[in-house]
Structure 1
Amino acid sequence: MTTTPAFDYSRFQRWRRPFEVGFWVVTVMANTIFNGTVAWFDAVYRTHRASSIEPWIWEASSSLVILAMVPLVVLATRQWPMRFDTWARNLKVHLALSVPFCLVHVGLMIVLRMLAYAAMGSRYHFGDDWPLELGYEYLKDIRTYFLFVALITGYGFIVRRLQGEASLLAEPDEGPPVEPVDRPERFLVRKLGREFLVAAREIEWLQASGNYVNLHVRGRDYPLRATMAGIEERLDPTRFVRVHRSYLVNLDYLTEMEPLETGDARLTMRDGATVPCSRRFRTQLRERFGDTPVGA
């Protein structure tokens, strides 16, 4: 059973990284322009307590540090995702992470401002009552941190909806299971409100990605909420082999194994894609095939 998706995810995948980087750059830049304009009217136009360039130095220095820290927030949300089943536990983690987020932001922001002021022949002063100033900055930073977490979480949810998310078939309430629970033959994929089945034998390889394992099927990746070790136990060992701590491959789709100088190997799949093979698993793979090269 297959469906024809209205959204061309494979095309989006080619532009996904530039889109994501561009989104954060444009978002932070727009915020800088907005906040800089407000600060200019407040500190220059109304009160005349700063020169015309100073509000832009304040906002630009803050924004540059914030932009540089976005990848760290992305990593944090992958490690401690905010889902319906994990938010209560992981909320505490993110509250704790907001503190170093603020400290790093303020520290690097001050350094950039000091350098900018020094270039103008002046000196930057953070404030006479620095604990109060730091508390004020934290109130802004915790709002920024959780706004980023919300944006990243929401974006990830939308991408998984467009991409499709795999799960094991549920055991029926009555009657025998459709298939052996310990060795599933099919995976259920939900995509844009539709459901279809993916045969386990059609999975070309699997890759661990945070709290998910991506099932690669005919050029598409379907995330499965599971650990690599857990899903490896449920796949047919005569067909699926671990080749890396983050990769499992289907031997039916493996065509070539290229040794590397490091002792590792590069595996080539039937569709031309390459998968890393660590030295430890390379030895096991060669033993499995004897002395005959894979793909010969």
Structure 2
Amino acid sequence: MNYLSHFQRYKFNYEIIVLFCYFFINATVLATSVLMEESRESSSLVFDTREPFVWEYSSAVSSILLFPLIVYLLRKHPFQWQNIKQSFAVYGFASVVFSLGHVGLMVGIREVVYLLMDRRYDFGNLGFELLYEYRKDLWSFIFFVIVIKGYQFIIMRLQGEANPIEIGESEHSVDKPHTNLDRLLVKKLGKEFIIQIHDVEWLEGSGNYVNLHIKERIYPLRATLTSLSAQLSTQGFCRIHRSHAVRLDMVESITPLASGDSEVKLRNNKTLMLSRRYKDGFKQMFER
């Protein structure tokens, strides 16, 4: 397994680790900077040395909790330059919601921690502090949007994006009905190559994309798992879970579980869950 395949397999885990490391390293640096600045200006600190860490870590935790909402916003309402006024309105409103959510979570965490320290937390003048925090949160919101879009662009360039091809025709939408989908055109790092549908081992739903798993490689295809699995049912693919579908001739064994679900082991040693909701349809297609 090469580095890209390894990253694709554990992509979510790496993203979580990097996210936590960034926020908490940044919070630690900011907290220690406050202590160093205070000690440089006077020989005795005028506040509890724990306070800067409470301030910065509460902000970091709040940002982490809100970060998935920014990802969701970019997925559901991507910024459109051709409709820039509406996009600015949506993202401007989202920045206000982000700031209010950040302040609310942050103050709530501080209130609890200060209570445990037998102290009282004073947020200050509400109007002034909200404006002060929004000034910082707006820049953080813009920074997060740029980082997320840049990261998605790099990942897409590295792993390539698949587009359906119909025999004798140009590229088309995978949601187009009655389409004989048997090949995919993959664009990767400025190159194009074709993969066959019968090489796909299993499908994984990921928001507006379906990840096609082919021999330890993953190619995203812009589609829904519902539409794609239905379209490929005539080619031996079957939906077995709300998040994935499999090519039936890849199935090696099925192990029933006490919960009523089952584990499906593929010939590539990948194990997927067969939920009770899709069990009857799976059995019918498998027996057929």
- TM-score, shorter chain, exceeding 0.5: yes
Q: TM-score, normalised by structure 2?
A: 0.80
The residue aligned with 1:142 is: 138
Which sits farther off after the overlay, 46-55 or 62-71? 46-55
- Give aligned pairs, total: 281
Paired residues of 1:183 and 1:236 also in contact (CA < 8 A): no
Find out whether 1:10 has 2:9 as its counterpart: no
Deviation at 1:281, TM superposition (A): 1.9
The residue aligned with 1:162 is: 158
Which sits farther off after the overlay, 63-72 or 40-49? 40-49
The residue aligned with 1:69 is: 66
Alignment of 1:18-97 (within 5 A): 18-36=13-31, 39=34, 50-51=46-47, 53=49, 54-82=51-79, 92-97=89-94
Deviation at 1:119, TM superposition (A): 5.1
RMSD of aligned residue pairs (Cα, Å) = 3.5
Find out whether 1:264 has 2:287 as its counterpart: no
Find out whether 1:232 has 2:229 as its counterpart: yes
Instruction: Give me the whole-angstrom Cα distance separating, in 1, the residues matched to 2:88 and 2:252.
Output: 45
CA change 1:46–1:182 in 2 (3 A) is: same
Give a deviation string over 1:219-277, Cα, whole Å, max 9, x none.
Answer: 11110011223323432514122222332211121222222222222211111112222
What SS class does the counterpart of residue 244 from structure 1 fall into?
Answer: coil
Which sits farther off after the overlay, 145-154 or 91-100? 91-100
The residue aligned with 1:192 is: 189
Deviation at 1:202, TM superposition (A): 0.8
Paired residues of 1:167 and 1:188 also in contact (CA < 8 A): yes
Partner amino acid, structure 2, of 1:235: L
- Structure 1's unaligned 5+ residue stretches are none
Partner amino acid, structure 2, of 1:8: Y
Instruction: Give me the whole-angstrom Cα distance separating, in 1, the residues matched to 2:18 and 2:93.
Output: 26
CA change 1:112–1:279 in 2 (3 A) is: closer
The residue aligned with 2:175 is: none
Q: Percent identity at matched positions?
A: 36
CA change 1:219–1:77 in 2 (3 A) is: same
The residue aligned with 1:151 is: 147
- Structure 2's unaligned 5+ residue stretches are 173-177
Paired residues of 2:205 and 2:244 also in contact (CA < 8 A): yes
Which sits farther off after the overlay, 46-55 or 115-124? 46-55
CA change 1:280–1:40 in 2 (3 A) is: closer
What SS class does the counterpart of residue 240 from structure 2 fall into?
Answer: strand
Q: TM-score, normalised by structure 1?
A: 0.78
Deviation at 1:60, TM superposition (A): 3.0
Paired residues of 1:212 and 1:226 also in contact (CA < 8 A): yes
Instruction: Give me the whole-angstrom Cα distance separating, in 2, the residues matched to 1:188 and 1:86.
Output: 29
Alignment of 1:103-142 (within 5 A): 103-118=100-115, 121-127=118-124, 129-142=125-138
Instruction: Give me the whole-angstrom Cα distance separating, in 1, the residues matched to 2:134 and 2:89.
Output: 16
Instruction: Give me the whole-angstrom Cα distance separating, in 2, the residues matched to 1:83 and 1:216.
Output: 30
What SS class does the counterpart of residue 205 from structure 2 fall into?
Answer: strand
More helix by share: 2
Instruction: Give me the whole-angstrom Cα distance separating, in 2, the residues matched to 1:116 and 1:179.
Output: 57
